[in-house]
Amino acid sequence: MPSHRAEVGLNHYLLIIEYDGSRYAGWQKQPGMITIQSELEKAAAVVLGKPVKSTAAGRTDKGVHARGQVVTLSAPANYPPKRFLLALNSLLPKDIAVTGVRKANAGSNARFDASGKIYRYYIWNKTCRSVWRKDRWHIARPLDLGLMKSAVQFIVGKHDFRAFEARGSTQCSKICNLERIKITNHGGEITLTFAADRFLYKMVRNITGTLVDVGLGRIAPDALIGILDGKNRRHAGRTAPSHGLFLEKIEGGKFGDLL
């Protein structure tokens, strides 16, 4: 079980950040790699004059973007939230921005206080790719959204989702409550919105790739019943590329009005 003990003498902050993940090796710090966490902690250490520790609600992978990432950050320095926001944004790279800051309670933890997450995946479904939609998965062949929407009914709900989990996961439980998948199309831009209490490693991208295979007629909609029950990643569809995925919002009552 995670420890929520507060460290004595530390000040705690809750941040909302957004970023273009294109040139980053994901959220989490890694030796010799440029990550969102390393850039944020480096800027915060300059502002506060002390080393900081941060935790994100969603540990996004390489190339994945965020509009509403929640981060808790602790440091032995006190700084007014508004000034902290402005100071951080003056130091952060242009593809990372802090959009909200407030003081947090001792023991606050973005990862464990989150009650749910919302992701959006974007597809550009036109014959020609667009230079203005680099953060969209370009699929030239027309997708049958009727088939894709029909397939959704077989996987929403509380299930064991290991069939859609990539290798390398450290999560013990494979049970997630996938509350909804909404699919919309606006002029060839297809958006898949996912809401769940939690997601497994690359689960959104693997479900998206599978639904795309349904939309292309490669997988029957009701085949998702057997894929889910089989609990075998090899039986599901492809993995959608990372650049089309956005962490849209973190849900959690403990985060207050900042979200």
The set of catalytic residues is 61
Specify the pTM.
Answer: 0.92
In this model, does residue 31 exceed pLDDT 70? Answer: yes
Pick the CATH number of 116-248 from 3.30.70.660, 3.90.550.10, 3.40.50.10800, 3.40.309.10: 3.30.70.660
Helix axes 145-152, 203-215, angle to 10 degrees: 130
CATH class as words, domain 11-113: alpha beta
In this model, does residue 224 exceed pLDDT 60? Answer: yes
Rounded to the nearest integer, the mean pLDDT of the chain is: 93
Tokens matching residue 46: 């300059």
CB 258 within 8 A of CB 104: no
In this model, does residue 119 exceed pLDDT 50? Answer: yes
Residue pLDDT, tens place only, 136-154 = 999 999 999 999 999 999 9
Q: How confident is the model at residue 8 (pLDDT cuts 50, 70, 90)?
A: low
Can you say whether the dihedral through the CA atoms of 161, 166, 167, 169 is positive or negative? negative
In this model, does residue 45 exceed pLDDT 90? Answer: yes
11-113 matches 116-248 in fold: yes
Can you say whether the dihedral through the CA atoms of 91, 93, 98, 99 is positive or negative? positive
